[in-house]
Amino acid sequence: MENLNNLITADDLYRVKEIYGCEISPNNKKIIYSLTKINKRNEDKYSNLWMTSSDKESQKQITFGNYFDTHPRWSPDGREIAFISNRENKKEQQIYLITKTNKIKKITNLKGEIKSFEWSPNGEKIVAQYRKTDTSVNGIKNNNKSLGIAYRHITRITYKEDGYGFLPKERWHIITIDLAKDKTQEITSGNIFDEIQPHWTPDGKEILFLSNRSKDPDFNPDSVDIYTISENGDKLRKINTHLGKKETMNISPDGEWVAFVGREHRADWGQNDRLWIVPFEGNEAAIDLTKHEDISILSSTTSDISNTGIQTPIWSKDSKSIYFQVAHHGISILKSVSIITSEIKNIVNIKGVVGDYSIDLKETKIAYILSDNKNTGQINVLDIKNQTNNKLFQSNKWINQSNLGEIEEVWVNDSDQSPLQGWIMKPPNFKTNKKYPSILFIHGGPLTQYGNIFMHQFRFFSSNGYIVSYCNPRGGRGYGEQNTKSIWNNNGTEDYHDVMRWTTYLKSLKYINNNNMGVTGGSYGGFMVNWIIGHTNTFASAVSEVSIINRTSSYGTSDWNWLREEAFGDEPPWENIENYLRQSPITSISNATTPTLVIHNENDMRCPIEQGEQLFVALKRIGVDTEMIRFPDEFHSLKRTDRNIIRLNQMLIWFNKYLK
């Protein structure tokens, strides 16, 4: 029961616990997952493994300590659990086993990173995606004391990655671990190609993986193909498919088919991600199972604290259908498709977002994480035969006692425009006869969607007396391929029109104070804020976060680097600079009058700090009231909770200054 005095605060971020994993046991009796929490004293995140029954709520913690235990996976017989942890060295991941006698045993001793792994069908081996630590570092020592890295010698065009930093020279490769012999074997090697997402064939004799083996992978990023290699690494074979990019894949239990999520063509990010199958033997063309419906596979719903989950499609036990996620109109649905008829069915279609999910060996139950606008994540179990849903565990139950404002879903339908979906979050204790200041949020991407999912920052501003609104302008996911493609090589057109259509609707509401409207967004949403303040004075205040203002200088400085060519006519800026400038807010910033707070992270490799600096200096130069908040040592997204709290409070101070 909610307490009217319990309002969401910025400091509540320290209370948030996030669920990851959600792996149901082969016999469908238990579910294992990881639960992540934040240590306020040192800002570290810790994750331990928990278990619950699949038919009733009965949580039990099974790993302990200030470690990061993740990716729990049941052995095929359900008697052991493998997981990744840093429990012996905080800077180094290893694979561990929870044995049949409940002992924790380390099974790898590797120098480097482990990203994913899978048990062999007979449970005797594990295959993993592994990248070694670089063998050489260009550092300087003085009197045997390390002075750190002295320089970096760059030879690749793709040399950095936001959230990671400068990429090592080593590549991702495939290894196997023989559990009985305690032996690790390198299956692939080399310093040109990455091999990722390994999967065993059902007979355990071969390993599937994805790899870009074009002449120069950096210049052909969409040339990702499916390969299979013998378990000892001596026979490699490519499974022939079309040229478009592959995201994830999985082999059928009968070994006949490989399912994968991908796009039909290269260099076209606006395409729907579709679900395909191809014969394992590679003797026929790939079949598009979802071409008859205008849907994009994988979950694309954005949240600041909920686990929305993007995972590999799962085959049915009889190899005749495939389970997969779809983003649609602000929710994420779990569906299945027949590989014989291409008929698509809804499996879990709830007003929320289906995240991580798993299915037991006999295909009787589906365990999944569900989030919605009042719930950061709960583990549910669907009984497939009886079609009954059982709620087992909800993280962050303290939110149930919080005073949350009501949310209204709205469709704006103009006769000559595409329908526009959005939401209006009202403050707690809302009064219909009062006029409120408002803040419009614009999502990043743009290949994402806002939706029916918990957003802490929305609740924070709502709790501070603001109407919070958010919508899905053209260019995102969840509304069809043409909707997504409408702004490709045309940023600042249909997307801007949709945001202003939404704003016009807001202004028609009696409880909105039209003189006290604010706007904010990050990344692509920050680009939109920069575009807005150069084209209208509708908003009394703005906050632009980790944004883009100049497409020409972003080229070559972002980790996406020259890949932006694909979104701007497949030409670099020196061949068509007018096209880049046409879609750059810097060209219209001289028109700005809106007081704007600029927030940027100094290690941002996606939208580099120079973008925020250009915006701040331009606004200062033309006399617009502006300030800048810079966060050191942070990539595109803030990792430290204390800095996120500072960010929210600084935004609140700025909006209060002009809107209240």
Q: Is residue 151 part of a domain?
A: no
How many Cα neighbours within 13 Å face the side chain of 470?
29
Confidence bin at 137 (pLDDT 50/70/90): low
In a domain, 374, yes or no: no
Q: CA 126, CA 110: separation in Å to the nearest integer?
A: 14
Predicted local confidence at residue 542, as pLDDT: 99
Q: SS3 for 73-102, per residue?
A: EECCCCCCEEEEECCCCCCCCEEEEECCCC
Domain contains 446: yes
Q: How far apart are CA 455 and CA 458, in angstroms?
A: 5
C-alpha span between 498 and 532 (Å, rounded): 12
Sort strands 626-631 and 596-601 into parallel, antiparallel or unpaired.
parallel
Q: Is 79 a member of any domain?
A: no
Give the tens place of pLDDT for each residue, 508-558.
999 999 999 999 999 999 999 999 999 999 999 999 999 999 999 999 999
32 token code pair: 């294992």
pLDDT (0 to 100) of residue 267: 67
pLDDT at 183: 96
What's 527's domain CATH number?
Answer: 3.40.50.1820
Q: Can you tell me whether residue 579 is helix, strand or coil? A: helix
Q: What is the pLDDT of residues 226-246, one digit of tens each?
A: 999 999 999 999 999 987 889
- 201 located within any domain: no
pLDDT for 149: 84
Cα 586 to Cα 534: distance, rounded to the nearest angstrom: 8
Cα(522)–Cα(290) distance, integer angstroms: 32
Q: How far is CA 267 from the centre of its chain?
A: 21
- How many of the other CB atoms lie within 10 Å of CB of 132? 18
**DSSP conformation letters of 348-378:** E--SSEEEEEEE-TTS-EEEEEEEETTEEEE
Report the alpha-carbon angle 341-346-349, nearest 5: 170
Question: Would you state the pLDDT for residue 243?
Answer: 74
Count CB-CB contacts under 10 A for residue 455: 23
Residue 114 counted as domain residue:
no
pLDDT over 90 (residue 572): yes
- Give the whole-number percent of the chain exceeding pLDDT 70: 97
For residues 583 and 581, give the distance between their C-alpha atoms in angstroms, rounded to a whole number. Answer: 5
Query: How far apart (Å, rounded) are the C-alpha atoms in residues 344 and 325?
Result: 12
d(CA 207, CA 93): 23
Helices and strands per DSSP (H, E), number in the chain: 8, 41
Write down the pLDDT at residue 311. 79
Sequence-distant (6+) residues with CB within 8 A of 653 are none
Residues in the chain: 660
**Residue linked to tokens 């807010």:** 585
Residue among 533, 526, 543 nearest 611 (CA): 526
Most confident of 47-61, 198-212, 260-274: 198-212
Check residue 136 and give its pLDDT.
59
Reported as type and span, the H/E element at residue 527 is helix 524-533
pLDDT tens digits, one per residue of 30-74: 999 999 999 999 999 999 999 999 998 889 999 999 999 999 999
**Cα–Cα–Cα angle for 611, 538, 587, nearest 5°?**
35
pLDDT reading at 613 higher than 70: yes
CA-based nearest residue to 654, from 628, 630, 635: 628
Two tokens at 341?
């008829």
pLDDT tens digits, one per residue of 148-192: 888 999 999 999 999 999 999 999 999 999 999 999 999 999 999
Q: What are phi and psi of 525, to 5 degrees?
A: -60, -35
Question: Do the Cβ atoms of 61 and 76 come closer than 8 Å?
Answer: no
Q: Is the residue at 474 inside a domain? A: yes
Residues in Cβ contact with 459 at an 8 Å cutoff, skipping those fewer than 6 apart: 8, 402, 404, 405, 425
270: confidence class by pLDDT, cuts 50, 70, 90: confident
| Number of domains forming the structure of the chain | 1
pLDDT, the chain, mean: 94
Which range of 138-152, 170-184, 268-282 scores highest in mean pLDDT? It is: 170-184
| C-alpha span between 197 and 336 (Å, rounded) | 22
> For residue 214, what pLDDT band results from cuts at 50, 70 and 90?
very high
- The SS3 assignment for 617 reads helix
The two three-digit tokens of residue 427, written as one number = 């403050």
Query: Which structure tokens are listed for 192?
Result: 């040109």
pLDDT band at 1 (very low <50, low <70, confident <90, very high): low
- Check pLDDT > 60 for residue 2: no
Contacts for 249 with CB less than 8 Å, ≥ 6 apart: 197, 199, 208, 210, 226, 258, 259, 260, 261, 312
Check if the beta carbon of residue 592 is closer than 8 Å to that of residue 536.
no
Residue 147 lies in a domain: no
- d(CA 98, CA 601) in angstroms, rounded, equals 40
pLDDT 10s digits, 66-109:
999 999 999 999 999 999 999 999 889 999 999 999 999 999 99
Pairwise CA distance, residues 499 & 136, whole Å: 50
> What is the span of the domain harbouring residue 475?
402-659
The pLDDT of residue 145: 65
pLDDT at 307: 72
pLDDT bucket at 134, cuts 50 / 70 / 90:
confident
